[in-house]
Amino acid sequence: MGCGASATKYEGETSQEIGVGGGAGMSHNANKIFDVYLVDKKKLGEGSYGTVSKCVHRTTKVTRALKTIGKKNEKWERFKQEIDLMKKMDYPSIIKLWETFEDSQNYYLVMELCTGGELFDRIVKEKKFTEKDALTVMGQMFRSVHYLHSNRIAHRDLKPENFIFVDEGPIATTSMKMIDFGLACSYTEGQILKTKAGTPFYVAPEVLSGKYTQACDMWSVGVIMYILHCGYPPFHGDNDQEVLNAVKRCDPKKPVDFPARDWKNVRQEAKELILKLICPDPRNRFSAKECIDSPWMARASSAKNQELEVTVADNIFDNLKKFRLLNALKKQATYVIARELGDKQIKELKEVFMKLDSDGDGCVTADELKAGLKQIKSLPEETVQQILSGYDYNGNGAVDYTEFLAATLDTKHFNEDQTCWLAFSKFDTNGDGKLSTKEIAQVIKDEPDVRKILPGDDSAVDNIMKELDTTGDGFIDFQEFLAMMREKRNKEE
C-alpha cells in the first residue's frame, strides 16, 4: 500500500504534519499559551504551516496537540481562511480544534491528539484487514464527507494520509478522524470551482480541467475504497504526470478494472459502489448520502449496534428530559464541559449520536430523535419538541453533535473539580474567582464560541443569581458553582 505515501499536492506543498480539524464552540483564549498549557519541547511534526508538539493542560492534565504557526509565514492569510472553516465544524469523524492563542510572534492551535496513525500505515501495521474493517472505515469516511457537503464545504484533498485513528485499538472499533483542511473551501449550491487542487493518485478528472464541484471529493473516496480492497491504486504511472494522464484517459464505460486474482473475494456490492464513485461524469457520481444508503453499507448494521440502542438509550432519554429543566448558566457550563471531553470519555454517546443521525448530516432532528428512541419509549410528538427546545442552542430546529453531548452527559463528569473549574473560568472573565451578574451576561454576549442561550432581559440573570448566590454577597464563587453543577438535573426526582 505504498501508493498512499505520495503527498505531492496538485496545489500547495507537501505537508507531513499532524492534521488540524475543527469543532463548534472553539474559542480564542486571551491568556498566554504557556500559562494554560505545559508544552513539550520535542516536536511531533513539522510542515509548511508550522510545528506540532504535545501539550498538557495545567488544570485538567489533558494531553493535546499544539500547532504553532509563525505570523511571518508567507501562507498566513491562507491559514486564517482554514481556521475560519474549522470553526464551523462539529462532527465525531472530524478532528476537533479546542481553542486558539496568539502572541506577537505566533498563532497557536490546541487540538485533539490522535496517536493511532494514518489509515494505510495502520493497515500495513495490522497485517490484516477484514470486510468489517472496511465497512467501519468507509462508513466513517462517507459520513464525514456528507457532513462537509451538507455544510457546503469541499475538502478537495481527500487521501489516506488525511484520515487518522484516535488510538491504536482494533480498526473495527477505533474512531477515525478526517484532518487537514488546507485546500478546503466553502461553496454555494451549484457553484463551479476552478482552483486545481488535490493529490495525483486521488484527484478527479474534472479537477484537472479546472471546472468542477464538491463531487470531486467522492471520486477521491472511491479511489481510497478501491485501494483498501486490493492494495494498489486504479490509475498507475512512474511519476505524478503519468498518473494524472491516466486519470484524464479514464474510460467512461470501464473506468477501473477488478483483476480476478485480487478481487475474487470482494463482494459485488462493494465493486458496484466503487464504480458509482470512480465515475468520470460527476453528474452520475454517487453522493456521500447515496453511499451511506448503499446495499454494501447496509451490511454495517450489527447486533452490537442494536444492543447499544437498548442498553444506552434509556439513560440518554432521561438525561434529555432533565437537561431541558436546567438553568441557563448550568446549561452553558455543561456545554463547555462536553466540548472539552476526549473521544474515549464520550465513546458511547458518540455512537448513539451517529445512530440517531440517520441521514448523516451532523444534526439530530425531532423526527430522527423520535425514530431512534421509539423502540425504547413511546414518545408523543409534544414531548420530543419540548426536549429539543430545551437543548437546541443554535435554534436551527435540530441538535448538533456537541449540543447532543451536553444534553446527555453523565453527571459523573460534574464531580471532577478540575473539569468544573475549566467551565467556571469561561465565565470568570476578569479572573477574580467569582462571577458577577454583569460578568455572566457579558460572556454570553461577547464570546463567539459561547452559545447565546440567555434571554436579553436582566431578569433571567438576576434569577440565576438569586438561585445560586447562597451567601448573599452578590457573586457566585466556585463552591457555589460546584454546588449547582452537582445538583440532580431534575430537582423533582
Task: Give catalytic residue positions.
Answer: 157
Cell (9 digits) for 187: 461553496
Q: How far apart are CA 337 and CA 410, in angstroms?
A: 11
Conformational region of residue 152, where left means phi above 0, alpha means psi within -120 to 50, and beta covers everything else: left
Q: Provide the grid cell at 409.
A: 452527559
Provide the b/e sequence for 337-349 (b: ≥16 CB within 10 Å). Answer: bbbbbebebbeeb
Residue type present at position 219 = W
Task: With CA atoms as reference, report the closest residue to 258 among 227, 298, 279.
Answer: 227
Q: What is the DSSP string of 41-53?
A: EEEEEE-SS-EEE
HSE value, Cβ hemisphere, 13 Å, CA-based, for 407: 27
The neighbouring-strand residues paired with 63 are 56
Q: What is the Cα 247 distance to its own chain's centre? A: 31
> Which of 338, 53, 38, 47 lies closest to 182, judged by CA?
47
Strands (E), 71-125: 97-102, 106-111, 117-118
Q: Cell numbers 463482494 label which residue?
A: 267
DSSP character string of 239-252: SHHHHHHHHHT--S
Contact 61, 129 (CB under 8 A): no
Cell of 149: 457537503
Rounded Cα gap, residues 180 and 367, in angstroms: 33
Around 337, how many Cα atoms within 13 Å sit in the side-chain half-sphere? 27
**H-helix or E-strand spanning residue 398:** strand 398-400
Give backbone dihedrals phi and psi of 380, rounded to 5 degrees, phi first.
-65, 150
Length of the chain measured in residues: 493
Q: Are strands 97-102 and 27-28 parallel, antiparallel or unpaired?
A: parallel
- Which three three-digit cell numbers place residue 432? 477574580
